């Protein structure tokens, strides 16, 4: 075996800078009173290095962990946090920088690669009003996420030329045409050939596009060197992690120039490689591969005994058998199929339907060049040199074990309802079809089960038939457990006076039931409105979301009494805010009594127009002048706050203001009424010189009838 190692293999300057910062911080952490060293995300795409760093005290945290990290700093904890070479989202970086300025016990080491920072700066400068920014790179990659977070306006991140063309066809051209200026850049580890292809596509649809060449020159040189070495070699070994973007692209570059390329992560994986004597082998490595890993791989391969000619011959002519489980490395991914290197002259092919159970899934999102997958052989064509494989079958076997384990542990699983069948529905959980009886779906009896099809549901496995690999599940069991948990939490925290926004679930003749989050409370009719109502439907309807207050609790009987009405809804408050004694108003007559008429001033507040205040002359009954529904103009003559009684007068607006004793006659109690036709003696009502009839000078209730 003739080994040649690439000069550009291993850590790039950006990764080296980040690892050096971590090593220095770990070495000094003990000198600073137990300072904790953290990295935001895995510092590099190499499991062995990350595990080694963690064993020496480094802590890997995620974005979701940042609130607890910040709280620890605010509580006085000493922490040094390192941002890896990929960089981080703009808003996160700014928050951490502000924290470092505010707190002496917190140190931020931003190890964003200078090449990445350059792209971030380009994104900031070339986005905003009237500008459109395009980045060619993996949208899910941390580097791309960080760059796109720097935009202040419209932009898009697209994986490759294929995605770019699809985006342009789906309306992207119109978005570019509407922009005053278009700029484009690439992820620093993008393939040069792919980036050039994207540039050509963009220039055809938008001739004025401004192109920024942002591929890291170290990455470019590494890929160019690997391409040259692959052309001159019988085999190439690429050392790196499948999660590393630049390592996967190195594999793609070499695969295009050499028929035998191996993707390994460490020496143990390299030990499985068998090559004939005098094979010319080139070794290269991704930017996140430590030098010690490269050395171990090379030493292992050098020490390997070469295969005998007979063993080589056996492997080269080895045939694949139907039903056999094989393992292969992904060499190509299209929309319709995946190609695998099986280590034989036969190429493995996995079609879309045999690679995933989701018909809408995009294979390029699920699988990448360099991935290692297992599949079952379903058909072999020696003539075409192709073996048709089924990955779903292998996955289904493994996933069935998960179903069995969930049954034993009681774990809640999640899946999608695929179809409604006789007696229930079928839910697919990681490729395994599980039956849910209709009675356990949570759908009311006789309702259409089709409403569940296409929805994602949580279920509990309730029965297993291992001999036939059949499982039965229940949605109701999960709902019941969730409801029980919600109820326990509710009763542990509920207090009188608490306020909720709840949905009206049902109505009865005496009130409305409101969902407070797993527990229903009842709003009595008297607490729905300040007005008298016959049915709650006069105020609310099922499905309404209303704001309620807990009025009373009965924990033993699990009952909650609620109130919907508020002081702001109180008609009396509305009246006093808008009217006072002496004001005039148009009111509607709502009822007639022998002693007067009641009229509505505002909804829910009535005032009394005493019979003596209806007109300027004597009448026997109010209905001689008024009828229910009449709208009349009145003056408010008295308001009793304590009893909520209001006196109104039509007469006060018909006569001069100096009518004697007008207030007295308006405020006389109802029980002192006397028949209108009985008059008090003239000498008790007015001086002799006054010629006005006695009945017009004093209210009827103030006269002294002869019978009394």
Q: For the segment 376-420, what is each residue's pLDDT rounded down to a tens digit?
A: 898 887 656 788 999 888 887 778 888 888 888 888 999 999 999
Q: Is it the case that residue 707 has pLDDT exceeding 90?
A: no
The CA angle 274-277-280, to the nearest 5 degrees, is 85
Give the residue from 259, 278, 313 where a domain finishes.
313
Considering the entire predicted model, what is its pTM?
0.43
Count of structural domains, the chain: 7
Nearest to 96 by CA among 144, 41, 143, 170: 41
Q: How far apart are CA 408 and CA 462, in angstroms?
A: 9
144 pLDDT tier (thresholds 50, 70, 90): very high
What integer is the mean pLDDT of 250-266?
A: 88
Enter the tokens of residue 483: 């409801």
Q: Are 644 and 583 in a shared domain?
A: yes
C-alpha separations of 623 from 588, 593, 600, 628 in Å: 14, 9, 17, 9
In a domain, 415, yes or no: yes
In a domain, 689, yes or no: no
Burial status of residue 465 (CB atoms within 10 A of its CB: 0-12, 13-18, 19 or more): exposed
In a domain, 81, yes or no: yes
Contacts of 98 (CB under 8 A, 6+ apart): none
- 303's enclosing H/E stretch is helix 291-303
Q: How far apart are CA 493 and CA 368, in angstroms?
A: 49
Asked whether the beta carbons of 519 and 509 are under 8 A apart, the reply is: no
Q: Are 602 and 623 in a shared domain?
A: yes
Q: Are 554 and 576 in a shared domain?
A: no
Q: How many CB atoms lie within 10 A of CB 167?
A: 15
What integer is the mean pLDDT of 153-157?
A: 92
What integer is the mean pLDDT of 92-110?
A: 93
Nearest to 72 by CA among 26, 105, 32, 31: 105
Q: In what order do the strands lie in the sheet with 280-285?
A: 2-5, 280-285, 235-239, 261-264
Q: Residue 473's pLDDT is what?
A: 92
Q: Are 534 and 499 in a shared domain?
A: yes
Asked whether the beta carbons of 381 and 391 are under 8 A apart, the reply is: no
Enter the tokens of residue 369: 């060049």
DSSP state of 10: S
Q: Residue 122's pLDDT is what?
A: 94
Q: Is it the case that residue 20 has pLDDT exceeding 60?
A: yes
Higher pLDDT: 274 or 84? It is 84
Q: Are 97 and 156 in a shared domain?
A: no
CATH code, 448? 2.40.50.140
Q: How far apart are CA 62 and CA 559, in angstroms?
A: 43
Q: Are 475 and 505 in a shared domain?
A: no
Q: Are 210 and 240 in a shared domain?
A: no
Give the residue from 263, 287, 313 where a domain finishes.
313
In a domain, 26, yes or no: yes
Q: How far apart are CA 413 and CA 474, in angstroms?
A: 10
The SS3 assignment for 631 reads strand
Percent helix / strand / coil, the chain, rounded to 5: 35, 30, 35
Q: Are 261 and 180 in a shared domain?
A: no
Q: Are 69 and 45 in a shared domain?
A: yes
> For 321-335, 493-507, 666-680, which range has the lowest pLDDT when averaged over its residues?
666-680
> For 323-337, 346-360, 547-561, 564-578, which range has the lowest pLDDT when averaged over its residues?
564-578
What integer is the mean pLDDT of 556-582?
A: 84
What integer is the mean pLDDT of 423-428?
A: 91
What integer is the mean pLDDT of 455-462?
A: 92
pLDDT tens digits along 609-626: 999 999 988 899 999 889
Q: Is it the case that residue 455 has pLDDT exceeding 90?
A: yes
Give the residue from 193, 215, 237 where a domain finishes.
215
Place of tokens 């070469």: 306
Q: Residue 335's pLDDT is what?
A: 83
In a domain, 234, yes or no: yes
Higher pLDDT: 409 or 687? It is 409
Q: Are 200 and 101 in a shared domain?
A: no
Q: Residue 96's pLDDT is what?
A: 94
In a domain, 540, yes or no: yes
Nearest to 390 by CA among 416, 355, 358, 418: 355
- Most confidently predicted of 43-47, 223-227, 565-569, 661-665: 223-227
Nearest to 193 by CA among 130, 136, 245, 271: 136
The CA angle 109-111-112, to the nearest 5 degrees, is 135
To the nearest 10 degrees (0 to 180), the angle between helices 47-55 and 13-29 is: 20
In a domain, 303, yes or no: yes
What integer is the mean pLDDT of 120-128?
A: 92
Q: Which residue range forms the structural domain that includes residue 72? A: 7-114
Length of the chain: 708
Place of tokens 């707190």: 103
Q: Is it the case that residue 145 has pLDDT exceeding 80?
A: yes
Enter the tokens of residue 254: 């070499």
Distance of CA 520 to the CA centre of its chain: 26
314 pLDDT tier (thresholds 50, 70, 90): low
What mean pLDDT is reported for the chain? 83
Q: How far apart are CA 35 and CA 387, in angstroms?
A: 56
Q: Residue 48's pLDDT is what?
A: 79
Q: Is it the case that residue 693 has pLDDT exceeding 60?
A: no
What integer is the mean pLDDT of 432-450?
A: 88
Q: Is it the case that residue 703 has pLDDT exceeding 90?
A: no
pLDDT tens digits along 494-528: 888 888 888 998 999 889 999 887 788 899 988 88
Q: Are 143 and 203 in a shared domain?
A: yes
688 pLDDT tier (thresholds 50, 70, 90): very low
In a domain, 643, yes or no: yes
Place of tokens 């890997």: 60
90 pLDDT tier (thresholds 50, 70, 90): very high
Q: Residue 1's pLDDT is what?
A: 66
Q: List the catalytic residues.
A: 143
Q: Is it the case that residue 266 has pLDDT exceeding 50?
A: yes
CATH code, 174? 3.40.1010.20
Q: Residue 304's pLDDT is what?
A: 62
Long-range contacts of 593-596 (CB under 8 A, 24+ apart): 593/622, 594/621, 594/622, 594/673, 595/670, 595/673, 596/622
Q: Are 11 and 108 in a shared domain?
A: yes
């Amino acid at each position: 075996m003739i080994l040649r190692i690439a000069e550009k293999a291993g850590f790039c300057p950006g990764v080296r800078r980040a690892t050096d910062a971590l090593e220095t911080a770990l070495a000094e952490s003990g000198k600073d009173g137990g300072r904790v060293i953290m990295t935001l995300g895995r510092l590099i795409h190499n499991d062995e290095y990350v595990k080694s760093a963690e064993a020496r005290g480094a802590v890997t945290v995620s974005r979701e962990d940042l609130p607890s990290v910040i709280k620890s700093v605010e509580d006085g904890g000493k922490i040094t946090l390192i941002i890896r070479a990929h960089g981080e989202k703009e808003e996160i970086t700014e928050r951490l920088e502000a924290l470092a300025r505010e707190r002496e016990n917190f140190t931020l080491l931003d190890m964003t690669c200078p090449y990445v920072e350059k792209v971030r700066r380009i994104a900031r400068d070339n986005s905003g009003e009237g500008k459109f920014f395009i980045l060619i790179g993996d949208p899910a990659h941390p580097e791309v996420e960080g760059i796109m977070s720097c935009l202040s306006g419209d932009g898009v991140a697209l994986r490759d030329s294929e995605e770019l063309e699809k985006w342009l066809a789906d309306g992207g051209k119109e978005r570019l045409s509407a922009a005053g200026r278009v700029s484009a850049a690439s992820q620093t580890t993008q393939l040069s050939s792919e980036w050039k292809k994207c540039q050509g596509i963009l220039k055809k649809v938008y001739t004025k596009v401004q192109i920024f060449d942002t591929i890291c020159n170290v990455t470019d040189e590494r890929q160019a060197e690997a391409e040259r070495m692959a052309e001159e070699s019988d085999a190439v070994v690429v050392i790196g992690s499948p999660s590393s973007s630049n390592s996967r692209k190195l594999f793609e570059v070499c695969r295009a120039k050499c028929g035998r390329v191996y993707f390994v992560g460490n020496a143990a994986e390299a030990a499985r490689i068998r090559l004939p004597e005098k094979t010319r082998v080139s070794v290269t490595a991704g930017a996140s591969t430590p030098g010690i890993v490269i050395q171990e791989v090379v030493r292992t391969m050098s020490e390997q005994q070469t295969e005998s000619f007979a063993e080589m011959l056996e492997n080269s002519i080895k045939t694949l058998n139907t039903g056999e489980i094989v393992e292969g490395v992904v060499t190509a991914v299209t929309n319709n199929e995946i190609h695998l290197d099986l280590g034989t002259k036969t190429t493995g092919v996995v079609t879309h339907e045999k690679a995933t159970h989701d018909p809408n899934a995009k294979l390029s999102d699920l699988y990448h060049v360099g991935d290692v997958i297992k599949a079952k052989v379903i058909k072999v064509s020696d003539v075409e040199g192709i073996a048709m494989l089924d990955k779903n079958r292998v996955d289904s076997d493994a996933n069935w074990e998960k179903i069995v384990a969930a049954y034993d542990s009681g774990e809640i699983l999640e899946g999608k309802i695929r179809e409604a069948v006789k007696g229930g529905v079928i839910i697919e959980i990681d490729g395994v079809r599980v039956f849910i009886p209709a009675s356990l779906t949570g759908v009311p009896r006789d309702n259409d089960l089709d409403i569940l099809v296409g929805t994602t549901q949580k279920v509990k496995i309730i029965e297993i038939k291992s001999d036939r690999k059949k499982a039965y599940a229940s949605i109701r069991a999960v709902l019941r457990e969730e409801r029980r948990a919600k109820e326990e939490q509710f009763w542990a925290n509920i207090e009188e006076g608490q306020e909720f926004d709840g949905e009206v679930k049902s109505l009865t003749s005496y009130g409305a039931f409101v969902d407070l989050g797993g527990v229903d409370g009842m709003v009595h009719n008297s607490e729905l409105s300040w007005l008298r109502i016959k049915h709650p439907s006069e105020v609310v309807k099922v499905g309404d979301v209303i704001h309620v207050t807990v009025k009373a609790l009965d924990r033993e009987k699990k009952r909650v009494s609620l109130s919907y009405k508020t002081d702001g809804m109180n008609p009396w408050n509305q009246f006093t805010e808008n009217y006072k004694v002496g004001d005039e108003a148009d009111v509607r007559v709502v009822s007639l009594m022998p002693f007067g008429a009641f009229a509505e001033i505002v909804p829910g507040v009535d005032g009394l127009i005493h019979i003596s205040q209806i007109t300027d002359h004597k009448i026997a009954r109010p209905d001689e002048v008024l009828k229910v529904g009449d709208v009349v103009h009145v003056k408010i003559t008295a308001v009793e706050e304590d009893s909520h009684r209001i006196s109104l007068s039509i007469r006060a607006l018909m006569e001069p203001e100096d009518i004697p004793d007008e207030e007295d006659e308006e405020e006389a109690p109802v029980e002192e009424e006397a028949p209108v036709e009985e008059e008090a003696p003239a000498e008790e009502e007015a001086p002799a010189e006054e010629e006005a009839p006695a009945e017009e000078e004093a209210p009827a209730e103030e006269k002294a009838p002869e019978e009394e």
